[in-house]
Amino acid sequence: DTAVSQTPKYLVTQMGNDKSIKCEQNLGHDTMYWYKQDSKKFLKIMFSYNNKELIINETVPNRFSPKSPDKAHLNLHINSLELGDSAVYFCASSPGKKALSYNEQFFGPGTRLTVL
Amino acid sequence: DAKTTQPNSMESNEEEPVHLPCNHSTISGTDYIHWYRQLPSQGPEYVIHGLTSNVNNRMASLAIAEDRKSSTLILHRATLRDAAVYYCILRDPLGDSNYQLIWGAGTKLIIKP
């Protein structure tokens, strides 16, 4: 069984569109995350979230919003897509109700977003 | 910005030990040292973490200098499947018991058959 899964694996879309990436974890973890890995391969935290607290990286444009229907899911919604949003997006989860309180994160396989 | 420095790349022969160095001279007393690796076209994978003492698990060993300003990830017997980018990261406090990882460029480990 896949611990952290993401859909879709690839997403190609036009500038200005709105899209969502879905993430699900079956590990029973309380905290989930979204990361962006750009073309230079640097991995940057975007959000960490549990069902009571959202921690936002201040550099993330407000076009990006996490949406959590339940503890096992954290979807990433992006409005008005721009060329610079092209990247690989990784979802992750960790135990504990605080971000990285138990040190270990589990990552999904990534979603490669291409904005044309 | 990442608080760690690592060599851009390293090469090793298959079935030999690999020592991946990391410098973190500005580490504070409560910063945990984390290692993750990312295989090609995959998400990052946790390898090991430590605070002060050396740590061992099924994947690797982590040797931490006495002054904690550097550490070394040791793969005891590298295989071709260990070819990946290895990231050394300090857990960064955000306040209210929350933390984040500030990722650097990592070390690309090349394994030669």
Cross-chain Cβ contact B43/A107 below 8 Å? yes
B15 vs A: CB within 8 A: no
B91 vs A: CB within 8 A: yes
Q: What percent of chain A has pLDDT over 90?
A: 68
Give the tens place of pLDDT for each residue, A21-61.
999 999 999 899 999 999 888 899 999 888 777 887 778 99
Cross-chain Cβ contact A99/B99 below 8 Å? yes
Read out DSSP for A44-64? EEEEEEETTEEEE-TTS-TTE
Residue B16 scores a pLDDT above 90: yes
Q: Report pLDDT for B2.
A: 66
Output B103 or A76, whichever has higher pLDDT. A76
Q: Report pLDDT for A83.
A: 96
Give the tens place of pLDDT for each residue, B88-104.
999 888 888 888 888 88
Query: In terms of CA atoms, which chain B residue is nearest residue A4?
Result: B43
Read off the amino acid at residue B39: L
A41 vs B: CB within 8 A: yes
Q: Report pLDDT for A46.
A: 93
Residues in chain A with CB shorter than 8 Å from the CB of B34 are: 103
Output A89 or B97, whichever has higher pLDDT. A89
A39-43, B4-8, B73-77: least confidently modelled range? A39-43
> Which of B105, B36, B68 shows the shortest CA–CA distance to A100?
B36
Query: In terms of CA atoms, which chain A residue is nearest residue B101?
Result: A45
Q: Please provide the size of chain B in residues.
A: 113
The DSSP secondary-structure symbol of A103 reads: S
Q: Residue A105: phi, psi to the nearest 5?
A: -115, 150
A51-55, A87-91, B52-56: least confidently modelled range? A51-55
Instruction: Taking residues A79-101, report their average pLDDT.
Output: 91
Distance CA B7, CA B22 (A): 8
Q: Please provide the size of chain A in residues.
A: 116
